[in-house]
Amino acid sequence: MSSRTIRIGLCGLGTVGQGVWKHLSANRSALEARLGVRIDLAKAAVRDPRKVRAVTVPAGKLVADPLSIATDPTIDIVCELMGGTGLAKDVTLAALHAGKIVVSANKALLCEHGAALFAAARKGGGRFFFEASVAGGIPIIKALREGLVANRFKLIYGILNGTCNYILTRMASEGAGYPQILADAKRLGYAEADESLDVEGWDTAHKASILAYLAHGVWVKTPHMIVDGITQITQADLKYAATLGYGIKLLAVITRDFERNELFVRVHPTLVPKDRVLANVNGVFNGIAVMGDVVGTTTYIGRGAGQDATASAVISDIADAIVLLTTGRDITPVATTAGVAELLSVPVQPLRLSPLERIRSRYYVRTTVKDRPGVLAQIATVMARNGVSIESVIQTTAERPEAASLILTTHESDEKAMRATLNALGRLKSVVEKPLLLRIGDFSE
């Protein structure tokens, strides 16, 4: 074994931080033998050093100020595991400016400040590793960055949030309502006390932004995405979807039009055909399908969250960082807007966001209307005026008195036309509840 000692500092010792400390401590000998170094868990920054934790950390290694770890010249690798975009950003930038390697699981920080973080790494000579920021234990970032580097990606789509997948899975299998299962998810630790980041789609959107950067080299922030959550999904929607041959999953969808050089990122509940792999990814598991122009479609499934899955990804990045420190061998650089074309010195144009009229799909629309003659004709007229063609209609009695539920599916249309259609439907006096719009994910593989 080399005489070199790699000193690691953890900024944050919450659920993930404790998992990293636990597994690094337990597997230290095997990792040291494999990597040819000594590993020293040197310091951990915590808010309250007196707090009782599931791991035992010597008191002398606990510090209150994470910035002291970021700027400590004896620390080789800084693990930012605090979360948030305030102090976490300051710590990460300080470490990168000091030329250190930073390992992070912070998807919100990357989504909001990724460009600044990578610029700081280039300027200061540091490196930024972030495998744990997307899909927990699934090595999707390594797959895009290394294993699939020869490919261009027309389509990437997947389940990136275990909380939402757990809720939708139980709703579909047990027939229980969203509020009851959300309460169970909180009790079991699958959902936070404030669940909005997960169930409203923002956590998935942050992860989708990172995947879009890796695949296409540009940062798409959430205001430029479509982001819908699962809070309006009902048992009726799940049953209607099943009748039509679909399951409902919250998906991130990243599409690239190489002819027009356009990109779009969206997050929304999606009807997925039951014979597709992702329709059968259940519980807290994540699943991601990547369509490459060379390899075709590859699919990755695994635990997307939790202490052990995320700690596994963090430790994987720590191992890569140690290889870089001891051998100078860097990982394959992340993709740029040019991708393979850049490697071949082919000039390319900057990527643009696709306009809504070029984001095409089939759609599912559920609306509650007054149960009287002529209402369906009104609905059909509104859709026809906006160029939307109805494929099928299911009408059932609604829970409200003297009301009916209309479930319509459309032939292929586009986001601009569907937005106009929903706005017009919402203005009809015969429509008594805001219509629900879901996309139908007939992804060609």
Active site residues: 207
Measure the CA–CA gap between 374 and 306, rounded to whole angstroms: 52
Tokens of 441: 């994910």
* Residues, the chain: 445
Q: Is 298 helix (H, G, I), strand (E, B) or coil?
A: strand
CB atoms within 10 A of CB 28: 14
Side chain identity at residue 42, one-letter code: A
Task: Give the CA distances from residue 14 to residues 36, 39, 135, 186, 311, in Å, rounded to whole numbers and listed in that order.
Answer: 29, 21, 19, 17, 11
Collapsed DSSP state (helix, strand, coil) of residue 427: coil
Phi and psi at residue 226, in whole multiples of 5°?
-90, 125
Identify the DSSP state of 149: T
Cβ atoms of residues 435 and 228 within 8 Å: no
**Longest Cα separation, the chain:** 84
Radius of gyration of the chain (CA): 24
